[in-house]
């Protein structure tokens, strides 16, 4: 099937095209459908959902790696090594689903503070999908499902009260993000790759803004942005929503 071949089905129309609109609308629809189907889930069912989703995205990532190594033309480390900010959802789900109390906190922290914003940005602006392959392509469908799931599971744990954000979450969140940033940077130095886009901006907006701001200190700057920028943006948007709706936890600043 051409859907699973290197070129996929149809032309590569890129961003700001009809394919882009369809991609975003389908992603939003998947998120809404997931939240509707899980609106009555209790704590036990949410835990099971996290575990099930972990195995789904883990298996899909393995299949993606196999596809890149066997079918994709000129696939380098940047294409098949799953070490990007969005990729942290996989270990986060594993930690949240199977870890002890501390490890679970690490996982849940990323799912909320990192997973929602990263997934939403990609669903809205799929920079590494549609510019490289057509809408009807296995990789496009994979990344659409993956990032939609990232947003959906993050919203589920907060809407159903499975996770309550507090400012102290900056500690576990920083641990998981900074750890993988360091691993990616060292790996990049050794192999010449650009995992987590931490070595250079790869010419992608808005990463190019970080290069303009930080210059030669880009790796440090992007680590700070990925860690503290995403955390505080998500945390205070959540607090603002809580204040507006007078929801539980709105005073826990």
Q: Output the pTM of the full model.
A: 0.91
Tens digits of pLDDT across the chain (253 residues): 788 888 889 999 999 999 999 999 999 999 999 999 999 999 999 999 999 999 999 999 999 999 999 988 777 888 888 899 999 999 999 999 999 999 999 999 999 999 999 999 999 999 889 998 999 999 999 999 999 999 999 999 999 999 999 999 999 999 999 999 999 999 999 999 999 999 988 877 778 888 889 999 999 999 999 999 999 999 999 999 988 877 554 444 4
Read out DSSP for the chain?
-GGGSSS-BS----SSSHHHHHHHHHHHHHHHHHHHHTTT--HHHHHHHHHHHHHHHHHHHHHHHHHHHHTSTT--HHHH---STGGGHHHHHHHHHHS-HHHHHHHHHIIIIIIHHHHHHHHH--TTTTTTS-SBSHHHHHHHHHHHHHHHHHHHHHHTTS----GGGHHHHHHHHHHHHHHHHHHHHHH---GGG-S--TT-TTHHHHHHHHGGGHHHHHHHIIIIIHHHHHHHHHHHHHHHHT-TTTT--
């Amino acid at each position: 099937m051409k859907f699973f071949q290197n070129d996929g089905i149809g032309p590569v129309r890129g961003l700001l095209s009809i394919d882009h609109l369809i991609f975003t609308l389908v992603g939003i629809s998947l998120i809404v459908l997931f939240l509707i189907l899980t609106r009555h889930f209790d704590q036990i069912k949410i835990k099971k959902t996290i575990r099930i989703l972990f195995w789904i995205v883990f298996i899909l990532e393995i299949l993606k790696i196999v596809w890149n190594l066997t079918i994709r033309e000129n696939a380098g480390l940047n294409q098949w090594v799953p070490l990007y900010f969005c990729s942290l959802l996989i270990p986060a789900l594993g930690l949240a689903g199977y870890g002890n109390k501390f490890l679970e906190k690490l996982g849940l922290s990323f799912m909320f503070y990192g997973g929602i914003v990263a997934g939403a940005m990609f669903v809205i602006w799929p920079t590494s999908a549609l510019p490289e392959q057509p809408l009807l392509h296995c990789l496009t469908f994979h990344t659409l499902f993956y990032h939609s799931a990232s947003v959906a599971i993050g919203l589920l744990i907060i809407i159903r009260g499975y996770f309550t954000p507090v400012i102290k979450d900056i500690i576990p969140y920083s641990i998981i993000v900074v750890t993988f940033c360091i691993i990616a940077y060292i790996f990049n130095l050794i192999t010449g790759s650009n995992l987590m886009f931490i070595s250079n901006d790869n010419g992608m907006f808005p990463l190019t803004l970080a290069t303009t701001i930080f210059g030669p200190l880009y790796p440090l700057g992007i680590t700070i942005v990925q860690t503290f920028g995403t955390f505080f943006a998500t945390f205070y948007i959540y607090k603002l929503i809580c204040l507006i709706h007078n929801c539980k936890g709105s005073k826990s600043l």
